[in-house]
Structure 1
Amino acid sequence: MGIISFQGARPKVKKQRNLQIKVSDYMTTKLITFKPEQSVMDVINLLVKHKISGGPVINEQNELLGIISEGDCIKYLNESRYFNMPTNDATVDRFMIRDVETIDGNASIFDAANKFIATKRRRFPILKDGKLAGQISQKDVMKAALKMNSQHWRDM
């Protein structure tokens, strides 16, 4: 006597392994940006007002010059208090990070996740034709994960 199954036929699950979810699909394009000649106190006010942790520094041609973050601003505040310096004359140019890692907008969201893990960065600017096109943050990757969760994250 053979084995009888009460489950019936199971539908075949289609795996979507080749589905590429790009960084450009989840990047932020409406960015708060800063200028090199802008005061650090102005940056601090904007970071607090917009509840962001940093942003790109660009020139008039929308070319990326650097990044300024909360950490850079705290460094400035610490130095200004320690050396009893005036707080209104320090500019972004002096405190920004110039060596900025970027990520390709055509990279997969999983490549971005791996790059975040490897570098411990909070954000990566995306350039297109040498100009700032957007920015991807760790939070954007998490938003992508939530959106894809209903589409069987494991099968991606």
Structure 2
Amino acid sequence: MGIKSFQGKRAEPEKPKSAPMLVRDYMTTSLVTFKEDENILDVAEKLTKNKISGGCVVDENNKLVGLISEGDCMKQISDSQYYNMPLEDTTVGKRMTCNVETIDGNMNVMDAAKLFIEKRYRRFPIVEHGKLIGQISQSDVLRAAVRLKSNNWAD
């Protein structure tokens, strides 16, 4: 006769439901921002010093008014050299992108990843109640994906 267990059949342990990975949990909130009246050379210096490829342009109330990038600065520097124009007069407001697409901080990070692929942007600002509260970049999304892999993909 074999030994019988009095414990009965054990139920499969429930896998914890993973909480949604939201943009707000991975966005950067300590931003280097710019003003419309800043000189383009000062912006290039800030971008280089902070090792970033671009940033948000805000007004005095922290309302998003545009984006400025390394490419915008390089274009201005190139144009200035080609047309022999002084760079001292060139401001962010003349070179920034004004129609900025933003995303919601409550969006799932993987949905944001899809937007990065579709739009080919490097960053998306996050605005709440009319104010800039953060920015998510492609590297922020990659950080979320690595975390997701360590939590779920190995199951």
Letter in 1 for 2:84: N
The residue aligned with 2:149 is 149
The residue aligned with 1:106 is 106
Deviations 1:28-86 (A, max 9, x none): 00000000000000000000000000000000000000000011011101110110011
- TM-score normalised over the length of structure 2: 0.88
Letter in 2 for 1:89: D
Report the CA distance shift for 1:136/1:106 in structure 2 as closer, same or farther (over 3 A).
Answer: same
Letter in 2 for 1:14: K
Q: Trace 1:81-120 onto structure 2 (pairs within 5 A).
A: 81-120=81-120
The residue aligned with 2:15 is 14
Letter in 2 for 1:105: G
Gap runs ≥5 in structure 2: 1-9
Gap runs ≥5 in structure 1: 1-8
- TM-score normalised over the length of structure 1: 0.88
Q: Trace 1:27-106 onto structure 2 (pairs within 5 A).
A: 27-106=27-106
> Considering only aligned residues, what root-mean-square deviation do their CA atoms show, in Å?
1.8
Larger radius of gyration: 2
Report the CA distance shift for 1:154/1:82 in structure 2 as closer, same or farther (over 3 A).
Answer: farther
* Contact persistence 1:145–1:153 (CA under 8 A): no
Letter in 1 for 2:137: S
* Contact persistence 1:55–1:67 (CA under 8 A): yes
Deviation >2 Å, runs of 4+: 9-16
Cα distance in 1 for residues equivalent to 2:139 and 2:91: 28
